[in-house]
Amino acid sequence: MSKVAQDKLNAEIAHYRQTNKLVEMVRAGVKAMETHKQINKSLATKLTEMFTDYTFAFSSDKSMFGLTHLRVWGNGVTYDESLYLSMSTSKVEDEGWECVREELRRCDCSDYIARAQLELTVLDKLDAIAAQIEALSDEAKALCDFKVEGSLVNRVNYGASYTLQEVYPFLKKF
């Protein structure tokens, strides 16, 4: 199994799990706050009370093109890796907590985790296919590695001609 692919997929899974942990934290805060009519900084205050090792930053711009934001980081999650929710302020005002829940659904990475876990199961087969492709590529390259006898300018062969590459696109890599 390709160690590089395995390491990359495992890192991706860890990243998505971290994101989902933050999503679940905000979901818990939303559930605790859903009796409140307005969505405001009290959400961040409640989340801070519930999860003291994290930072919750809330902002809401009520201008014509305003956005409401909630950012979560801390406890090993850097600001650059933070969960960032961004919603139209007018939509938040119209739909209330359902708008926030929809944004949390959008940020949920469960399907990415499931896909990466499934991809881990096919790495051995992909490695075998890659080895076959490499062997066939070497064979195709050898077929195109020829020198034309009697060439007046004694050109060096750089692989298949553009005509062959057009008909056989796999020759372009040579």
Q: Measured between alpha carbons, how far is 170 from 174 in angstroms, rounded to an integer?
A: 9
Over residues 31-49, the pLDDT tens digits come to 999 999 999 999 999 999 9
* 36 contacts 42 by C-beta, under 8 angstroms: yes
Over residues 122-163, the pLDDT tens digits come to 999 999 999 998 899 888 878 877 666 666 666 666 677 788
Over residues 85-114, the pLDDT tens digits come to 999 999 999 999 999 999 999 999 999 999
pLDDT at 17: 97
Q: Does residue 173 surpass a pLDDT of 70?
A: no
Task: Quickly state the pLDDT bin for 169 (edges 50, 70, 90).
Answer: confident
Task: Quickly state the pLDDT bin for 171 (edges 50, 70, 90).
Answer: confident
How far, CA to CA in Å, does 64 sit from each of 47, 52, 91? Answer: 28, 34, 12
- What residue segments make up the domains of the chain, in order of their start? 3-115, 124-173
Q: Measured between alpha carbons, how far is 109 from 159 in angstroms, rounded to an integer?
A: 45
22: exposed, middle or buried (Cβ count in 10 Å: 0-12, 13-18, 19+): buried
pLDDT at 78: 97
Q: What is the pTM of this model?
A: 0.78
